[in-house]
Amino acid sequence: MTRQCKFTMSEPASLSHLSLPLCLLKLLRAVPLAMTAEDDPRRDELKTLQKKKEEIDMLARKQVRRILWSGLGFAVVQVGLFFRLTFWEFSWDVMEPIAFFTTTTGLVVGYAYFLLTSRDPTYQDLMKRLFLSRRRKLFKKQNFNIDRFTELQKQCKSPLDSTTSAKDRIGVELEPEDSFHRD
């Protein structure tokens, strides 16, 4: 009877109790080796899909930036409107409750966001969620096959493959589980 292969940092592995097939399997999973040849047609398909995904990511980023700039524009118009109404049209006595309830409404919306998403209502989180939503819609619109892309990535992975991080390309730091987030 063979034992399972265990590697722990606290105790050194003794060669007498290791099962060679299990150890090789664990080693192959831990060390990314080139699984396909350089001239494999799957690599070309993967490169094509990577380019398409990068284009979708850039388009999603542009859409998110447009939404965020629109939010800034709305906030500036609101402040300008309140300023105008406070000092020219009405008085502070009239505008104070309006400003209070407008601010309170913003806080309630932030709290509702937290309750619905279980995430902090931060601008960075909002940007990430908007990006993932836009990207998901663009994937559907452009018929991008996520499953095929991840399958090809697993088959063609190589330690020498270098890609720029998502934060460098699109300005959003994504968690590994967010990469192909689906709701």
Q: What is the 3-state secondary structure (H, E, C) of 18-65?
A: CCHHHHHHHHHHHCCCCCCCCCCHHHHHHHHHHHHHHHHHHHHHHHHH
Within a domain: 46: no
Q: What is the pLDDT of residue 74?
A: 95
Within a domain: 80: yes
Task: Please identify every stretch of the chain with a pLDDT value under 70, giving residue numbers as ranges.
Answer: 1-18, 24, 27-39, 158-183
Within a domain: 11: no
C-alpha–C-alpha distance, residues 106 and 102, integer Å: 6
Within a domain: 163: no
Q: What is the pLDDT of residue 160?
A: 42
Question: What pLDDT, in 10s, does the model give residues 79-124?
Answer: 999 999 999 999 899 999 999 999 999 999 999 989 998 888 888 8
**CB crowding 92-106: b at 16 or more within 10 Å, else e:** eeebeeeeeeeeeee
Q: What is the pLDDT of residue 18?
A: 64
Q: What is the pLDDT of residue 31?
A: 55
3, 17 Cβ separation under 8 angstroms:
yes
Largest separation between any pair of C-alpha atoms in the chain = 89
C-alpha–C-alpha distance, residues 133 and 154, integer Å: 24
Q: What is the pLDDT of residue 148?
A: 87
- Please give the radius of gyration of the chain, using alpha carbons only, rounded to the nearest integer: 26
Q: Tally the domains of the chain.
A: 1
Range of the domain at 74: 63-156
C-alpha–C-alpha distance, residues 15 and 7, integer Å: 11
Within a domain: 172: no
Within a domain: 129: yes
Within a domain: 113: yes
- pTM, two decimal places: 0.64
